[in-house]
Amino acid sequence: MSEAVSKPVPIPDALSEPFFAGARDRRLMLQHCTSCGTWSFPLRERCPTCMKPTLEWRAASGRGTLYTFTIFHQAMHPGFAAHVPYNVAQIDLDEGVRMTANVAGVDNADLRIGMRLEAVFESPGDGVFIPKFQPAAG
Ligand SMILES: [Zn+2]
């Protein structure tokens, strides 16, 4: 008799804690540079545009557009075996950064490049929440 294997769960660290704290509150937090106004993702110590250490956390809109996606038919980790086929997508957020996430709430066959999406939050366990995206309402 086999035991189900859980999905791996992110472990927040000092840099990423504000991102995960926001996700627990169902807010998509991104870093924003107070010197040049650039949003950035993935997480960094310094602004990738002006190189100053002036990044602060701000709540993003949580809205974006589907840039591309792929469908996984083989589980790359046993924790995902029960979820194949599943999508992995890249979403261009309205703030100008690209994020990789799953798109939920739509059949994989109905995914369309350019469709409008909004963030939703799901917990894979251990009290950690991560963003996914779903078709935007309205
Ligand atoms: Zn900057």
For the chain, which residues make up each domain, given as ranges? Answer: 17-135
For 19, phi and psi rounded to 5 degrees?
A: -65, -50
Q: Span 17-135: which CATH code?
A: 2.40.50.840
- CA pair distance 60, 65, nearest whole angstrom: 14
State the distance from the centre of ligand 1 to the C-alpha of 98, rounded, in angstroms: 17
Residue 99: band (very low, low, confident or very high) from pLDDT cuts 50, 70, 90: very high
The first and second tokens of residue 36, run together, are: 């040049």
State the distance from the centre of ligand 1 to the C-alpha of 124, rounded, in angstroms: 33
State the distance from the centre of ligand 1 to the C-alpha of 30, rounded, in angstroms: 13
Predicted pLDDT at 3: 58
State the distance from the centre of ligand 1 to the C-alpha of 83, rounded, in angstroms: 39
State the distance from the centre of ligand 1 to the C-alpha of 42, rounded, in angstroms: 14
What are the pLDDT digits (tens) for 5-38? 888 999 999 999 999 999 999 999 999 999 999 9
What are the pLDDT digits (tens) for 70-97? 999 999 899 999 999 999 999 999 999 9
- Segment 124-136 shows an average pLDDT of 95
